[in-house]
Structure 1
């Protein structure tokens, strides 16, 4: 298991917890410029606050990159950038990421209703949003802090959401902290890609559809999703501002 996967997804999970604590759907992401391993953008869902259905975490991060480096440099930067997002991108976001040429997507849990990286559709690998003379695809690596991402969603869905178009009474819903759906790796990646990302020693998890033990330590990192994460915005903003992509990519920052 690459330690960078854990480090970056941990920050995304903390940001998702911040979103939960501030009455937003707990989905969040960080964009990592791979050549320098630096965070260049981050985002969390903003649909409740903005009353905008497309204000997904991925678009919030893309907007940060565009504002800083300009629309003319967006594609050039994203081709060397890895997205870490707590929940599998929806079909809309998966399509946008492919059209913009993202290098790779790593995510926590699958998106059972709208997943665009394998659960419902495999937008990242099909040809539905590209012309016949192009071959733009990206790998989507699942299962990083998967149970933590699932639990944040469960926390949200047992709450009352006054911002929902049709608020539903949830008082009778029970928070399940014990059972989790199987991790079907083959939906998202093949065995060779799994071995490349997580190591040959972990192939048993691919074959048996189980979570990576070094990700979840045989359980859930409760301290990560139950702790106070109010400082995560300042931490991520510092990392973003300190990134040295300007000199490496020879593009000028606009702010």
Structure 2
């Protein structure tokens, strides 16, 4: 997928929030809410620090936005997030009637268009960077995890040339 400079800028801002989450010991998910080419909210995962599994980046970004903007603004707002929103976040985004979602790594949870109202979803923006951010998190120990598993022999697997070519062709 070719990324225009506008989408690239906002996706890079989401990746910076993901980096900030990683530095804080959180799952490296970051996002920004964009209205008329201006960031109106941002968030990063806070599940480990808060010990609350619902403190996902998307919810934090929405809370951030709602501090200074009405809820109705979400109908004309786009979300840029490092990974595809989970089922819980996707449901909230539909209820808030978000205009569109742009994300990095690809899963495909949002293919059920029988649920109203649907929103456009654009995956694969900075896919390689989003995947590497997650890999950097999962290679380390998570002190907040219920039963940590040793990760002594894990190696960081980078994108191969073939994966990189596929990423660029998407």
**What's the TM-score, normalizing by structure 1?**
0.62
Runs of 4+ displaced beyond 4 Å: 180-183
Which residue does the alignment assign to 1:24? 26
Residues 51 and 94 of structure 1: CA distance in aligned 2, closer, same or farther (over 3 Å) = same
Separation in 1 of the partners of 2:29 and 2:162? 19
Separation in 1 of the partners of 2:40 and 2:162? 33
Q: Shift of the alpha carbon at 1:67?
A: 2.2
Which residue does the alignment assign to 1:212? 168
How many positions carry a matched residue from both structures?
Answer: 168
Q: Shift of the alpha carbon at 1:151?
A: 0.4
Of 94, 101, 108, the match for 2:97: 101
Which residue does the alignment assign to 1:142? 123
Q: Shift of the alpha carbon at 1:212?
A: 2.7
Separation in 2 of the partners of 1:26 and 1:77? 26
Contact 2:139/2:156, CA 8 A, preserved across alignment? yes
Residues 30 and 66 of structure 1: CA distance in aligned 2, closer, same or farther (over 3 Å) = same
Q: Which runs of 5+ in 2 are unaligned?
A: none
**What's the TM-score, normalizing by structure 2?**
0.91
* 1:116 to 2:137 alignment: no
Structure with greater strand share of residues: 2
Cα RMSD of the aligned pairs, angstroms, is 2.1
Which whole-Å deviations, capped at 9, do the CAs of 1:6-49 have from their partners, x for residues lacking one? 0000011111111111111100000000xx21000000000011
Separation in 2 of the partners of 1:161 and 1:107? 24
Residues 9 and 52 of structure 1: CA distance in aligned 2, closer, same or farther (over 3 Å) = same
Of 143, 166, 169, the match for 1:162: 143
Which residue does the alignment assign to 2:7? 5
* 1:46 to 2:2 alignment: no
**DSSP-derived class of the 1:108 partner:** strand
Larger radius of gyration: 1
